Amino acid sequence: MSANQTLTPRATKSSASPRSRALSVIRAYIALTKPRVIELLLVTTAPVMVLAERGIPSVWLVIATLVGGSLSAGSANAFNMYIDRDIDAIMGRTQARPLVTGEITGRAALVFASALGILSTLWLWYFTTPLAAILSVAAILFYVFVYTLWLKRRSEQNIIWGGIAGCFPVLIGWAAVTGSLDWEPLILFLVVFLWTPPHYWPLSMRYKDDYASVSVPMLGVVREAPVVGLQVILYAWATVAASLLLIPVAPMGWIYTVVALGSGAWFIVESHRLYQRALAGEEVKPMRVFHSSISYLTLLFIAVGVDPLVQL
CATH code where residue 95 lies: 1.10.357.140
Residue 15 has what pLDDT? 60
- Residue 19 near residue 272 (C-beta atoms within 8 A): no
Cα separations in angstroms, 107 against 114, 137, 270: 11, 21, 43
28 & 174 share domain: yes
Please check whether residue 203 lies inside any domain of the structure.
yes
33 & 169 share domain: yes
- Looking at the structure of the chain, the number of domains it has is 2
- pLDDT tens for 67-96 read 999 999 999 999 999 999 999 999 998 999
Residue 127: exposure state from Cβ atoms within 10 A (0-12, 13-18, ≥19): middle
189 & 128 share domain: no
CATH code of 280's domain: 1.20.120
221 & 247 share domain: yes
Residue 312 has what pLDDT? 60
140 & 201 share domain: no
Helices assigned H by DSSP within the chain = 3-15, 18-32, 35-53, 59-83, 85-88, 98-101, 106-127, 130-141, 158-162, 168-178, 183-206, 208-213, 219-222, 225-244, 246-249, 254-279, 286-310
To 5 degrees, how large is the angle CA 273–CA 42–CA 142?
85
| Domain end point (choices 179, 197, 221) | 179
Residue 126: give the domain boundaries: 24-179
191 & 163 share domain: no
- Residue 112 near residue 33 (C-beta atoms within 8 A): no
92 & 238 share domain: no
Please check whether residue 150 lies inside any domain of the structure.
yes
102 & 30 share domain: yes
The 3-state DSSP class for residue 11 equals helix
- pLDDT tens for 153-184 read 999 999 999 999 999 999 999 999 999 999 99
| Domain end point (choices 131, 149, 179) | 179
**Taken in order 252, 254, 259, 260, is the CA torsion positive or negative?**
positive
| Domain end point (choices 122, 154, 179) | 179
Q: Which residues of the chain have pLDDT under 70?
A: 1-15, 312
Residue 116 has what pLDDT? 98
CA atoms of 272 and 232, how far apart (whole Å): 8
Residue 4 has what pLDDT? 39
